[in-house]
DNA sequence: CAGGGTTCGTATGGGCTCATACAGTATGAG
DNA sequence: CTCATACTGTATGAGCCCATACGAACCCTG
């Protein structure tokens, strides 16, 4: 958990030059890569509550990086899409992500990374299996 | 990071029967095991800011589990010590911790756990080495 | 003794997230 | 069609944490 906290701070620090935090950057990058989604879909994808997702979208929309467009088929729903202004930011996010990942990978080989992921998944499964 | 979040929630859920969260339980258990400390020392040990540590101690003190005693040698400092009432709670915390750890360890052998810890430490080192 | 610099605990304001409750909308059974 | 149910996004209140700033107390140097 300490490592996770450091990780979040580390990403946040590197993203600070874009005035974004990790949640904002992740959501923006996801929308830019996979196209328009509803807020609920994004919330599920980002492991975030719907309310928190709405807040993140508010912030990105206020900065002109995202647009809310009414869904033609469902009037409850917004379709969240990136603006043209977002493409540059998304590129810079990707660049930062690449650098950060490379830094983190130092001294850790592919096999160890896979094993790490595997163990973490098993931990999650153990927790999920215990209390539904 | 998702695993860490789940872990915190998982511990919190198990500690809910004691009306404690993970920070409170950790701090209380630490003080109970290693005796009186200053708030700053506890903050460093718990990976928590001094202000947050003060809040946690406030809560535990209000429930009669901890006492603040003036330090005879340094009038700025409180000495944080467990009360007699805390011993029972500490035992129950330890019991919960044992159960949780056992649950989590299912399907993960000793070697894998050590490897996990090793990789996480290396990740932390990589982050620490990058930006002092 | 000063005097400045440091450290302690606390107060304050802010950020991020959640849980809950709500109004508007969609959907399916009758 | 009608109504109950489910779902969407939002508002609100709460919890937990941080960063900063502050007064009080300490320590070191001269």
Give the tens place of pLDDT for each residue, A96-128: 999 999 999 999 999 999 999 999 999 999 998
| Any A CB within 8 A of B99 CB | no
Write the CB contacts of B11 (distance below 8 Å, at least 6 apart in sequence): B22, B25, B100
CA distances to A49, B60, B119, B129, B131 from A39, in Å: 10, 39, 35, 38, 35
Spans of chain B, pLDDT less than 50 = none
| Cβ A43 vs Cβ A78: under 8 Å | no
* A 44-73: CB within 7 Å of strand D: 50-51, 54, 57, 68
Strand D, nucleotides < 7 Å from a protein CB: these are: 7-13, 15-21, 23-27
Query: What does residue B66 show for φ and ψ, rounded to 5 degrees?
Result: -135, 155
Q: Measured between beta carbons, which residues in chain B are less than 8 angstroms from residue A126?
A: 103-107
Write the CB contacts of B61 (distance below 8 Å, at least 6 apart in sequence): B67, B68
Strand C, nucleotides < 7 Å from a protein CB: these are: 7-13, 15-21, 24-27
Burial A93-121 (b: 16+ CB within 10 A, else e): beebbeebeebbeeeeeeebeeebeebbe
Q: Find the residue closest to C10 using CA and C1' atoms.
A: B51
Residue A45 has pLDDT above 90, yes or no: yes
Handedness of CA A103, A15, A51, B21 (dihedral sign): positive
Q: How many residues appear in chain B?
A: 132
Tell me the percentage of chain B whose pLDDT exceeds 90.
96
Q: Measured between beta carbons, which residues in chain B are less than 8 angstroms from residue A2?
A: 47, 124
Cα–Cα nearest to B47, from B30, B67, B66, B34? B30
Q: What is the per-residue pLDDT for B132? A: 57
Average pLDDT over every residue of A45-56: 96
Cβ B10–A47 below 8 Å, yes or no? Answer: no
Give the residue from chain B lying closest to A1, CA to CA. Answer: B4
CA atoms within 13 A on the CB side of B77: 14
Question: What distance in Å separates the CA atoms of residue B13 and residue B78, rounded to the nearest whole number?
Answer: 31
């Amino acid at each position: 958990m300490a490592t996770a906290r450091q990780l979040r701070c580390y990403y946040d620090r590197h993203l600070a030059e874009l005035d974004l935090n990790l949640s904002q950057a992740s959501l923006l990058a996801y929308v830019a890569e996979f196209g328009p989604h509803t807020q609920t879909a994004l919330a599920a994808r980002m492991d975030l509550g719907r309310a928190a997702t709405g807040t993140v979208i508010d912030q990105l929309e206020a900065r002109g990086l995202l647009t809310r467009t009414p869904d033609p088929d469902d009037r409850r729903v917004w379709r969240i899409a990136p603006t043209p202004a977002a493409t540059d930011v998304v590129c810079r996010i990707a660049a930062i992500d690449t650098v950060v990942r490379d830094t983190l990978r130092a001294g850790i080989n592919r096999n160890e990374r896979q094993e790490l992921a595997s163990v973490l998944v098993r931990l999650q499964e153990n927790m999920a299996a215990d209390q539904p």
